[in-house]
């Protein structure tokens, strides 16, 4: 039933329409992916211009907070009102906020405008993937989602490099203003080519559910991004914030069970393929973000590389991910063996992360990291698009938007938790290893300043502290590898279930 309904929907798009919409969607997705990473290299210059060093992290946190909260709402509303009006609002809000960010006059204005930008960004990638699910048949989704994954990989990894170039050549403001020409062209293509779609006559919006989800998500994300830094792991405030967030999330689940039009369709969780893949996607994001955030830190603190060189070290990952996502999409469309390809991809990711953790622990030469990252890119390119295809193919076509949004929501939460937990493990391990040198160094300086504090040491002490950093970062990488193994077991179970039922 789902396949025939999807086929009917996809047949409404002519070949020319598909091409125009696809180009617009790719540009929209690239814009959203770039904005998650392009700002990082411009932050030091932004602080020098606007001030507010103590609040610098909120430039990133505000964006992540509002985009994560908005994601499931876009999915549900697009199922009710159609994709076109929600995409128009999402792109419009994002571009308006980008303009405001580009003309911000102080740090608090920039933080506020970044939060508004996140409201628009929450729909960019989710709605783009959903429209692809509408446009093509379930058998073709692997190929198209593979192209999306490749574009996402290039955008995410080249973001910091592009941010540095724009900041150096023009101004940090162009990190935000560059969105305007890209977004306006994408907006024109999508509005011109994408059909209006359906709209429910009397839509019922779950406002209470939306409010509860916003409060619970905000609480969890604030906790995950503050614990270990501004909040101690064993602080009473940490436990209070966790308990309140959990309580509000429980109220949200109760509300969704009784709401006439729930924001999140809990019934979808009874579909084995959907629930397993969504959970595995969240765990995969946990592992990936928890590792990739700290690899550049290892390159600079332990291997002594410059920021530019450490950025170039990530290129094997994006290169292999681009190739494997395109080729993997073609293979999955021809073979329809999505569960098998997902298991292969996640297995390669687990092996690569384990190798990276091993290399970090033993201080391997850069070549070994390059090979490991290349393997990691292969696994990501194979795994990510097939997970999306399985999720979209397992649900009814009228729930495609909320299904894709639930996947994006869980993935965002998983990534945030992965960074927080891996960072906490690194900080605790480093503090423990530095305790032995407490009479010779200022521990707080190393926990706060890192590389700057290293430069002031004698050669002998420099070696000892570098070893401490090596052990701490490799411990955090081991955490990521362990969680990826859990995701691997889940998708292998899904593959076995598929084989038994066929």
pLDDT grade, residue 6 (50/70/90)?
Answer: very low
Give the pLDDT score at 5: 41
Handedness of CA 303, 309, 310, 313 (dihedral sign): negative
Q: Decide if pLDDT at 150 tops 70.
A: no
Instruction: Please state, for a pLDDT cut of 90, what percent of the chain lies above it.
Output: 4
Cα distance between residue 404 and residue 268, in whole Å? 11
Q: What pLDDT score was predicted for residue 300? A: 72
Confidence of residue 1 (pLDDT cuts 50, 70, 90): very low
**Segment of 209-213, 294-298, 397-401 carrying the highest mean pLDDT:** 209-213
Q: Tell me how far apart the alpha carbons of residues 386 and 357 are, in angstroms, rounded to a whole number.
A: 26
- Confidence (pLDDT) at 96: 93
- Lowest-pLDDT range, 5-14, 67-76, 135-144, 424-433? 5-14
Q: Where do the domains of the chain lie, and which CATH numbers do they carry?
A: 1-194 (1.20.1250.20), 271-502 (1.20.1250.20)
What pLDDT, on the 0 to 100 scale, is given for residue 137? Answer: 66
Q: What is the dihedral of CA 135, 137, 139, 145, to 10 degrees?
A: 20
Cα distance between residue 238 and residue 229, in whole Å: 11
State how far the Cα of 183 lies from the Cα of 27, in Å rounded to an integer: 7
**Per-residue confidence (pLDDT) for residue 351, from 0 to 100:** 92
DSSP E strands in 251-397: the ranges are: none
In this predicted structure, the answer to whether residue 110 has a pLDDT above a threshold of 80 is yes
In the predicted model, what is the mean pLDDT of residues 191-202?
A: 64
pLDDT tens-digit profile of 32-52? Answer: 777 766 776 666 677 667 766
279-295: average pLDDT: 76
- Residue 51 has what pLDDT? 67
| Model pLDDT, residue 146 | 62
Rounded mean pLDDT of 15-21? 75
Q: Per DSSP, what are the bridge partners of residue 231? A: 227
The region of weakest confidence among 170-184, 257-271, 332-346 is 257-271
Contact criterion met (CB below 8 Å) for 381 and 328: yes
Q: Are 147 and 26 contacting, i.e. CB atoms less than 8 angstroms apart? A: yes
Mean pLDDT score of the chain: 76
pLDDT value of residue 3: 43
Residue 291 tokens read as 């590792």
Structure confidence at residue 338 (pLDDT)? 81
- Helices 400-434 and 459-501: crossing angle in degrees, nearest 10, is 150
The rounded distance, in Å, linking the Cα atoms of 151 and 468 is 37
Instruction: Return the structure tokens found at 397.
Output: 């076509």
C-alpha Rg value of the chain to the nearest Å: 22
Give the residue-averaged pLDDT of 250-256: 87
| pLDDT computed for residue 4 by the predictor | 41
| H/E segment holding residue 369 | helix 366-393
Beta partners for residue 227, in sequence order? 231
pLDDT > 70 in the chain, percent: 75
Q: Is the pLDDT of residue 318 over 90?
A: no
More confident residue, 339 or 163: 339
Q: Of the given ranges (37-41, 127-131, 205-209, 421-425), which has the lowest mean pLDDT?
A: 37-41
Would you list the DSSP string of 376-414?
HHHHHHHHHHHHHHHHHHTS-GGGHHHHHHHHHHHHHHH
CA dihedral over 8, 14, 15, 17, signed as positive or negative: negative
Tell me the mean pLDDT in the region 123-136.
75
**What band does 247 get if pLDDT is binned at 50, 70 and 90?**
very high
Q: Report if pTM > 0.75.
A: no
| Band (99; pLDDT cuts 50, 70, 90) | very high
Cα separation, 221 vs 66, whole angstroms: 10
Q: Is the pLDDT of residue 81 over 80?
A: no
* Residue 288 near residue 412 (C-beta atoms within 8 A): no
Report whether 206 contacts 256 (CB < 8 A): yes
């Amino acid at each position: 039933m789902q396949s025939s309904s999807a086929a009917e929907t996809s047949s409404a798009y002519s070949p020319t329409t598909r091409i125009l919409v696809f180009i617009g969607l790719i540009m929209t997705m690239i814009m959203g992916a770039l904005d998650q990473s392009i700002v990082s290299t411009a932050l030091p210059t932004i602080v020098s211009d606007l001030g507010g060093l103590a609040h610098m992290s909120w430039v990133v946190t505000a964006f992540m907070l509002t985009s994560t909260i908005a994601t499931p709402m876009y999915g549900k509303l697009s199922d009710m009102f159609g994709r076109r009006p929600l995409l128009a609002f999402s792109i419009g809000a994002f571009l308006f906020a980008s303009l405001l960010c580009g003309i911000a006059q102080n740090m608090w204005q920039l933080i506020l405008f970044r939060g508004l930008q996140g409201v628009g960004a929450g729909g960019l990638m989710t709605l783009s993937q959903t429209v692809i699910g509408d446009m093509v048949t379930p058998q073709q989704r692997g190929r198209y989602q593979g192209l999306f994954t490749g574009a996402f990989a290039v955008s995410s990894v080249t973001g910091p490099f592009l941010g540095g170039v724009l900041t150096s050549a023009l101004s940090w403001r162009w990190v935000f203003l560059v969105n305007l020409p890209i977004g306006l062209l994408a907006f024109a293509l999508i509005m011109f080519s994408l059909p209006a779609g359906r709209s429910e006559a009397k839509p019922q919006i779950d406002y209470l559910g939306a409010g509860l989800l916003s409060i619970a998500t905000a609480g969890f994300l604030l906790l995950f991004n503050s614990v270990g830094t501004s909040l101690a792991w064993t602080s009473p405030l940490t436990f209070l914030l966790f308990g309140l967030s959990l309580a509000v999330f429980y109220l949200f689940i109760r509300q969704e069970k009784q709401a006439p039009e729930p924001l999140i369709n809990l019934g979808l969780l009874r579909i084995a393929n959907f629930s397993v893949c969504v959970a595995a996607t969240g765990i995969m994001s946990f592992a990936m973000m928890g590792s990739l955030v700290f690899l550049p830190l290892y390159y600079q603190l332990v291997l002594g590389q410059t920021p530019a060189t450490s950025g170039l070290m990530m290129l094997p990952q994006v290169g292999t991910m681009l190739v494997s996502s395109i080729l993997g999409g073609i293979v999955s469309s021809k073979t329809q063996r999505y569960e098998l390809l997902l298991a292969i991809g996640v297995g390669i990711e687990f092996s690569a992360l384990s190798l990276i953790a091993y290399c970090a622990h033993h201080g391997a030469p850069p070549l070994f990291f390059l090979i490991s990252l290349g393997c990691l890119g292969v696994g990501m390119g194979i795994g990510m698009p097939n997970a999306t295809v399985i999720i979209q193919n397992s649900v009814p076509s009228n729930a495609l938007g909320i299904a894709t949004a639930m996947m994006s929501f869980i993935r965002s939460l998983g990534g945030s938790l992965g960074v927080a937990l891996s960072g906490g493990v690194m900080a605790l391990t480093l503090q423990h290893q530095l305790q032995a040198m407490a009479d010779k160094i200022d521990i707080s300086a190393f926990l706060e300043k890192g590389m700057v504090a290293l430069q002031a040491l004698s050669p002998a002490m420099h070696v000892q502290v570098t070893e401490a950093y090596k052990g701490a970062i490799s411990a955090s990488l081991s955490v990521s590898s362990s969680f990826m193994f859990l995701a691997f077991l889940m998708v292998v179970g899904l593959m076995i279930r598929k084989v038994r039922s066929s």
